[in-house]
Structure 1
Amino acid sequence: MSTLPAGYSASDIERYVTEPPKSAARSPFERDRARIVHSSALRRLGAKTQVLGAGSGDFVRTRLTHTLEVAQVGRELGKSLGCDPDVVDTACLAHDLGHPPFGHNGERALDEVAKDIGGFEGNAQTLRLLTRLEPKSVHPDTGESVGLNLTRATLDASVKYPWRENATPTRPDGSATRKFGVYEDDRPVFDWLRGDAPERHISFEAQVMDLADDISYSVHDVEDSVVHNAVSLSVLRDPGQAREVAAHVRAWYGRGDEAELAAALDRLRAQDWWMDEYNGSHRALAALKDMTSQLIGRLAGTVTDATRAEYGDGPLTRHNAQLVIPSEIANEILILKGIAVHFLMAPREKKPAYKQQRQRLAALVMELAKRGADALEPHFAASYVDAADDAARLRVAVDQVASLTDKSAYDWHHRYCR
């Protein structure tokens, strides 16, 4: 029997389906991490879009390299905050597994085509993949797949939005978020993994994972924008440009005060390591990488210090603590996101190819749902045959398309939709 990691209970290391005892050489949480590392879903992220399309350049991030960077940031945060680093590391490795081809653009397309069967949400798809779609374990009584059969603590750490589609919380301004973490037919395992967790409360490890994700993509998307699109950060000296970035923050993320965002940009630009100009030289690239490192250290370190000041030393785990993110740091993360939106994401929205991606994914789902098992990969074909009705069969087609890489989505569309 494995020794319980500090701060965790016997309930935290339980699995949905009990497994025979194994060597104590590795903890249950280390086994969870290994299962993600060896999963086909993780490998596929190497050919999926992060922000810039996979294959658009040797420097830019794919969904996989982004995931590895999130895991590195998250693991260090977890260690410094007293939660098991393997739990956080695994949640970080898993956090984007449910994302479809073409990034958030593909997510929008699948959400539209699945609107009558509960929609599509990348985070809910991640839970579905971990607990059903990724082949590893089956239920001994029913023979149904239970996915990777991870521990309760690890699964809870992977659930960024612990609520159903029809139970989403409201934002401070009264609007509802579209984000949710579980489909209705995955409720049994969701209810099990949440156990006695407070309703809608995000576990501490999931909060750490979410922060690691925010830090990583806010900083690295700026880096990719500078290198790939030759964006000169010096244009932010213009107050008009800075206001446009703040406007994009509010439009895309639904929050942010213009004055506070402007102050956050001023604080960052005042740092010795901030880089206004980039000319592509080796020296410039080294300076840009240093800025990236400094930003990550600043954001992660300040949150760690603030959280430790609130809770003191010792393990901080599950539902026993709340991550403390000072408003200044939250605004610095937001303005970095806004820079990437302003220079990279918003202009991309107007390109015809971007709309074409959504059309192709939607058409492919409908064609696969019509053609049935013969057009699906074997494990999806078996689920299609077992499906009880048209809604369940459509969900199988969505699952199949969501699993594809960018290139295979194009290939499948060419094969079945022409």
Structure 2
Amino acid sequence: MTMEHLYDDSARERLVPEPPKRVDAPVRMAFERDRARVVHAASSRRLAAKTQVMGPQADDFVRNRLTHSLEVAQVARDLARALGCHPDIVETAALAHDLGHPPFGHNGERVLAEQSQECGGFEGNAQTLRLLTRLEAKTFDATGRSVGLNLTRATLDACTKYPWPRASAQPPHGVHGDGTPRVVVKFGVYDDDREVFDWMRAGARGTAQCLEAQVMDLADDVAYSVHDVEDGVVADRVDLTRLDRSALWETVREWYLPGMPDDRLDRVLNDLQAQDSWPRTPYAHGRRDLAALKNLTSDLIGRFCGSVQQATFDSGPGPFVRYRGTLVVPEQTRLEIAVLKGIAAHYVMSADDRVAMMARQRELLAELVEAMWQRGPESLDAPFAQDWEDAEDDNGRRRVVIDQVASLTDASAVSRHAAVVTAR
């Protein structure tokens, strides 16, 4: 059986049926079309100007949400191919996984969640589903309503990291990959997007992630755990040859592994440092240093994905697609990823200059939401101004303002604040 035959007609179904393409058009499978639609989406381009850990303009080298998404997509595609699930589905989910992030990443998400309590809250993953199924204009249904990119059921499901509504979300705990505390409950759909969500989840098992979403989720975890350390090394914030284990383990316990004893963490770090590619001398910014650092990141990604692949194969016969299998992450791999996250958290994300900057970002975004709410459609881009006019009540109009602000990049949020708030 080929990979294509592991996905049935239901997996390929779109909310709005589409006619066949022109006979002289290139032949592409359904999931290839999904990938192309996400690549060409306006919200994908905006990721280039959205915060990852350090702001997009902090340095030419550091990652933004777009470069991060491309790296997650590469890790996800390779792992999907190894496991036997469809690489186009998983790659599309990886490319889309951060589309719903507002300006300033999880820091901005916190503000929009506070500003949208009365209209259903805000969550970056729920916003991603809203973008894919409503806000990105490509296809309309028979009533004239936008259904967004009109992706297949399998691809949309793979994009859904938290397949449940806000009412079913657990209380937040821990921190995000960018170091901000989790103060926003995690969920994947707003109440007014339930119709498409319920269609998408037809045949799903309760609140379980499909296998492709699990691969995307792991690839995200692997990519930022490795690459945030890489960025920290190049920015001279992390010296992998001189780690203060005592202070580092306090951060790891506070942020990721409560109660984990020093001796266990010591063994995990010792195992990582035993890799031939782990640096033995401080980073000096030369080409050999950069090449060595790239070899380290490659080895770490291979180490993590290889262990997950083997553990998943050992768990059962497969095939590992949709709801026919579960991704298995060994405990040692989970701890190694957490230690890498802890290194970035301790040396990069807790820095005083970053904490002060984040406080100003939250203030700016809250002021912008309130100003746009007060000024209404005159302060909104044309598509959102039309949404405002079509809204049935204040909750609907408030959601439009949240959608507008969430669509902005870091730089455009600052410039829009100057135009809408400062210039008043």
TM-score range, shorter chain: over 0.9
**Residue of structure 2 in register with 1:132 after alignment:** 134
**Residue of structure 2 in register with 1:17 after alignment:** 16
**Residue of structure 2 in register with 1:114 after alignment:** 116
**What displacement does 1:311 show?**
2.4
For 1:55 and 1:188, how far apart are their aligned partners in 2?
39
For 1:213 and 1:256, how far apart are their aligned partners in 2?
25
- Choose the corresponding residue for 1:289, options 288, 294, 305: 294
**What displacement does 1:408 show?**
0.4
Q: Deviations along 1:95-127, whole A, 9 cap, x unmatched?
A: 000001111111111111112222211011000
Counterpart code for 1:304:
Q
- Choose the corresponding residue for 1:258, options 254, 258, 261: 261
Question: Is the alpha carbon distance of 1:170 and 1:356 closer, same or farther for their aligned partners in structure 2, counting shifts above 3 Å?
Answer: closer
Say if 1:249 and 1:334, in contact at 8 Å, map to a contact too: no
**Residue of structure 2 in register with 1:405 after alignment:** 409
**Residue of structure 1 in register with 2:208 after alignment:** 201
Q: Which runs of 5+ in 1 are unaligned?
A: none
Q: What pairs up with 1:122-201 in 2 under 5 angstroms? A: 122-140=124-142, 142-169=143-170, 178-201=185-208
**What displacement does 1:350 show?**
6.0
For 1:258 and 1:81, how far apart are their aligned partners in 2?
34
Counterpart code for 1:95:
H
Partner SS state of residue 350, structure 2: helix
**What displacement does 1:249 show?**
2.9
Deviates more, 1:346-355 or 1:56-65: 346-355
Give me the TM-score of the superposition, normalised by structure 1. Answer: 0.93
**What displacement does 1:363 show?**
1.1
Counterpart code for 1:241:
A
Say if 1:249 and 1:256, in contact at 8 Å, map to a contact too: no
**Residue of structure 2 in register with 1:246 after alignment:** 252
**What displacement does 1:317 show?**
0.8
**Residue of structure 1 in register with 2:103 after alignment:** 101
Partner SS state of residue 302, structure 1: helix
For 1:69 and 1:146, how far apart are their aligned partners in 2?
28
**What displacement does 1:415 show?**
0.2
**Residue of structure 2 in register with 1:304 after alignment:** 309
Give me the TM-score of the superposition, normalised by structure 2. Answer: 0.92
Say if 2:240 and 2:279, in contact at 8 Å, map to a contact too: yes
Indicate the percent of aligned positions where both proteins have the same amino acid.
Answer: 53
For 1:286 and 1:88, how far apart are their aligned partners in 2?
29
Say if 2:55 and 2:64, in contact at 8 Å, map to a contact too: yes
Structure 1 stretches of 4+ with a deviation exceeding 4 A read 169-173
Counterpart code for 2:285:
G
Question: Is the alpha carbon distance of 1:166 and 1:400 closer, same or farther for their aligned partners in structure 2, counting shifts above 3 Å?
Answer: same
Q: Are residue 379 (structure 1) and residue 389 (structure 2) matched? A: no
Q: Deviations along 1:232-270, whole A, 9 cap, x unmatched?
A: 12232x4313323323433xxx75723443332221012
Say if 2:109 and 2:122, in contact at 8 Å, map to a contact too: yes
For 1:266 and 1:110, how far apart are their aligned partners in 2?
41
Say if 1:134 and 1:148, in contact at 8 Å, map to a contact too: yes
For 1:172 and 1:374, how far apart are their aligned partners in 2?
39
Question: Is the alpha carbon distance of 1:412 and 1:331 closer, same or farther for their aligned partners in structure 2, counting shifts above 3 Å?
Answer: same
Say if 1:6 and 1:315, in contact at 8 Å, map to a contact too: no
Say if 1:348 and 1:354, in contact at 8 Å, map to a contact too: no
**What displacement does 1:369 show?**
1.6
Say if 1:7 and 1:316, in contact at 8 Å, map to a contact too: no
For 2:404 and 2:259, how far apart are their aligned partners in 1?
37
For 2:162 and 2:295, how far apart are their aligned partners in 1?
33
**Residue of structure 1 in register with 2:179 after alignment:** none
Say if 1:4 and 1:10, in contact at 8 Å, map to a contact too: no
Q: Deviations along 1:280-323, whole A, 9 cap, x unmatched?
A: 122111111110000000001110111112223x6311111100
**What displacement does 1:375 show?**
1.2
**Residue of structure 1 in register with 2:30 after alignment:** 28
For 1:57 and 1:307, how far apart are their aligned partners in 2?
39
For 1:171 and 1:327, how far apart are their aligned partners in 2?
23
Say if 1:249 and 1:337, in contact at 8 Å, map to a contact too: no
Give the aligned length: 409
- Choose the corresponding residue for 1:344, options 343, 348, 354: 348
Q: Are residue 6 (structure 1) and residue 11 (structure 2) matched? A: no
Q: Are residue 355 (structure 1) and residue 354 (structure 2) matched? A: no
- The root-mean-square deviation of aligned C-alpha atoms, in Å, is 2.1
For 2:404 and 2:208, how far apart are their aligned partners in 1?
31
Say if 1:256 and 1:334, in contact at 8 Å, map to a contact too: no
**Residue of structure 1 in register with 2:272 after alignment:** 268
**What displacement does 1:4 show?**
8.2
**What displacement does 1:364 show?**
0.7
Q: Are residue 392 (structure 1) and residue 392 (structure 2) matched? A: no
For 2:184 and 2:364, how far apart are their aligned partners in 1?
27
For 2:352 and 2:225, how far apart are their aligned partners in 1?
17
Q: What pairs up with 1:206-225 in 2 under 5 angstroms? A: 206-225=213-232
Question: Is the alpha carbon distance of 1:349 and 1:138 closer, same or farther for their aligned partners in structure 2, counting shifts above 3 Å?
Answer: farther
Question: Is the alpha carbon distance of 1:36 and 1:256 closer, same or farther for their aligned partners in structure 2, counting shifts above 3 Å?
Answer: farther
Question: Is the alpha carbon distance of 1:55 and 1:349 closer, same or farther for their aligned partners in structure 2, counting shifts above 3 Å?
Answer: closer
Say if 1:87 and 1:154, in contact at 8 Å, map to a contact too: yes
For 1:65 and 1:302, how far apart are their aligned partners in 2?
25
